[in-house]
Chains A and B, each alone.
Chain A
Amino acid sequence: MNLLIQNGRVIDPSQGLDEELDLLVENGLVREMGRGLTAPAGVEIVDAAGCCVVPGLVDMHVHLREPGLEYKEDIESGSRAAVAGGFTSIACMPNTKPVIDNKALARYVIARGREAGLCNVFPVGCLTAGSKGERLAEMGELKEAGCVAVSDDGRPVVNAELMRRALEYARGMQIPVISHAEDLSLVGEGVMNEGFTSTELGLKGIPRVAEDIAIARDVMLAEYTNSPIHIAHVSTSGAVRIIRNAKLRGVRVTCETAPHYFTLTDDAVRGYNTNAKMNPPLREADDVAAIRAGLSDGTIDVIATDHAPHHLDEKDVEFNVAANGIIGLETSLPLSLALVEQGVLTMSQLVERMSCCPSLILGLERGTLAKGAVADITLIDPTLPWVVEADKLASKSTNTPWMGQEMKGAAVATIVAGRVVYRR
């Protein structure tokens, strides 16, 4: 289907664009951009007045739970949640059951993504075989099968020698490494951030330095091996400082954070709220400020969701035994738009963090509206009010700390390869 998107504010940082333009899509590609374009016969006209027209959003960190844990989410329901949140591409982590450490499973995920037929689903393969942290995964074959990165997300690579070799080997295979950075000896039995709130609630704390130390190690290994590394879900002020300094030295490090880390503090845990339990845990006000500053100055390259669906039975329990993580695909955009309203990011920077940078890091040919590019496009109404309601979420799971709350801003249309896959 061919489309003419009219009257929208086109924001495409890849071309330095932010102006009112029309956009013509033909045969799944961006054909033309300009003022006052006329629609050839048989072209559907999409009125984007009042909306931002941006390269389709890319979430480089989601958990789709398929294969093995489909009661929480599957590739189809996750894809539906993604396009409802404005994402045209998602990268899914390999900590499924079994883990995705071979090409057959990687191909299965891609095939299921195609069957769902909504957004692009790019698997992330394991960094180590079985995600056990003992020997390297078959990164060459994983890449060949379509994996866009390798990671043992959900657990750190404890052995520094193995992490060193993983970085070197992945560089050779030209596949990015995503690090889940956490020093488990410092995490211990912690279930929330260590600080005044954990003291008051009597819950075991996870010190911030557990994250900082692991990131420092990985950044040093990346520097030593001259290999790129991407740090997942940054949550502390120390991590931002370490990564900022490393970037200044020219280390090939990129990183992401998630909306909850720039929106909430560990105060959200009060009342033993298991929907505020995640890993890394929600931190304190100065961490939130540092994450925002890091997003603003470009130290933090990417806003990802770490979309982590869990069944009600895994959250409606005592705090200590509750599963870690929250869903994020459908709330990420409004929470990130709040950063624009608060002056932390410009709209163009927001699009960089949510589309251009993740595409670049994963080597996807996405994140641009340049002529001839695949027409993955998101139409955003930045002011549209809506309420987070369980029965209206596309995800199978409803574990979010924002349940019942009003959001401002949403994707009103999500277009993948020229096809409208979601309309609000």
Chain B
Amino acid sequence: MANFKHKDIIALQDLTKQEIELLLSTAESMREINNRDIKKVPTLRGKTIVNLFYESSTRTRTSFELAAKRLSADTVNISPSTSSATKGETLADTALNLLAMKPDIIVMRHSVSGSHYFLSKKLPCSIVNAGDGVHEHPSQGLLDMLTMKDRFGRLDGLKVAIVGDISHSRVARSNIQGLTKLGSQVFLAGPPTMMPPGVERLGNVTVCDSLREAIQDADVVMMLRIQQERQGKTLMPNAREYARYFGLNPENLKLAKPDAMVMHPGPINRGVEMASSVVDGDQSWILKQVENGVAVRMSMLYHVCEGELE
């Protein structure tokens, strides 16, 4: 397969259009493995992958673990109960200890933005980002893009609306970076309290005044989770008012293109970001996103190992 020169995958911001396309096309071929009776190939046999999750996660961790196992890698899951800083051991020390056990890849989720760059400078093994603070979540961005590509056969020229708490969303940042590189037009909406300064300069996106404006004629409507644990208490009056002005329901979904796809990175607050009827409706691609997650992560693990071999 073609070259992928990076030791790590930390952010879609760091990847070129061609590298993102390569990761997506490899994921498409990996998907075939997931549909076999025997879902296993020997590609990464003998490789050791550590899943180091400082933040709780079921979906992403399981997805990475399955991806590794289907490629025949050995996996270990570690979930430090507290953050490195409060526990006493520094992140760097934890990583050096793990490194002494010779892993090939560390898949990490950490609440501090940039912590993956910090580690990647210290460790010779590959670092794959499973979410860092509110910076990026590249595997989620890639699986979202793969799902859109499944639906439309392309990403170029799509109108994608991303709605919700952009400030605290690493999913939004990865999608903005990836989608704009591949030619989609991205429109953002959310209360101004959840819109980070200068976001329009992140890959030339458009900030809209309302949800209606953003989803008008959209091909894709991506709703973000309201992350109450991240936001403090001052960003919105309450969930009821949020749902009224920024929630997706069958009514306002009609503003989008008739065949628009609806996405959500999960977990969903039903009745807040989205009405249940939309979550479970015909236009929802939410479970397909999850399904694509495994293939995308297989592709990521495969390519960072390739990079290491070169």
Interface residue ranges, A against B (CB under 8 Å): 188, 194-205, 271-272, 313, 316-321
- Known contacts A317-B90, A321-B85; is-contact A198 B196 (Cβ 8 Å): yes
B85: chain A residues at CB < 8 Å are: 317-318, 321
- Known contacts A200-B202, A201-B135; is-contact A194 B197 (Cβ 8 Å): yes
B92: chain A residues at CB < 8 Å are: 316-317
User: Is B136's CB under 8 angstroms from A202's CB?
Assistant: yes
Chain B 83-103 interface mask (CB, 8 Å, partner A; 1/0) = 011000011100000000000
Indicate which residue in B91, B167, B197, B202 contacts A317 across the interface (CB closer than 8 Å): B91
Q: Using a Cβ–Cβ cut-off of 8 Å, how many residues does chain B contribute to the interface with A? A: 28
User: Is A196's CB under 8 angstroms from B117's CB?
Assistant: no
Bound together, the chains give a CA A316 to CA B84 distance in angstroms of: 13
B84: chain A residues at CB < 8 Å are: 318
User: Is B113's CB under 8 angstroms from A199's CB?
Assistant: no
B201 in the interface, Cβ–Cβ < 8 Å?
Answer: yes
Interface pairs (26), CB distance under 8 Å: A188-B232, A194-B197, A195-B198, A196-B201, A198-B197, A199-B197, A199-B198, A199-B202, A200-B173, A200-B202, A201-B135, A202-B113, A202-B114, A202-B170, A271-B117, A272-B117, A316-B92, A317-B85, A317-B92, A317-B118, A318-B84, A318-B85, A318-B112, A319-B115, A320-B113, A321-B85
B124 in the interface, Cβ–Cβ < 8 Å?
Answer: no
B113: chain A residues at CB < 8 Å are: 201-203, 272, 319-320
A399 CB, nearest partner CB in chain B, Å = 16
Interface residue ranges, B against A (CB under 8 Å): 13, 84-85, 90-92, 110, 112-115, 117-118, 132-136, 167, 170, 173, 196-199, 201-202, 232
In the complex, the chain B residue whose C-beta lies closest to that of A207 is: B197
User: Is B91's CB under 8 angstroms from A318's CB?
Assistant: yes
User: Is A320's CB under 8 angstroms from B197's CB?
Assistant: no
Bound together, the chains give a CA A196 to CA B200 distance in angstroms of: 9
Bound together, the chains give a CA A188 to CA B168 distance in angstroms of: 15
User: Is B196's CB under 8 angstroms from A319's CB?
Assistant: no
B141 CB, nearest partner CB in chain A, Å = 13
- Known contacts A202-B132, A271-B117; is-contact A319 B199 (Cβ 8 Å): no
User: Is A205's CB under 8 angstroms from B91's CB?
Assistant: no
Other A-B contacts than A202-B133, A316-B92, 18 sampled, CB-CB below 8 A, are: A188-B232, A195-B198, A196-B201, A197-B198, A201-B114, A202-B113, A202-B134, A205-B196, A272-B114, A272-B117, A313-B90, A317-B85, A317-B118, A318-B85, A318-B110, A318-B118, A320-B112, A321-B85
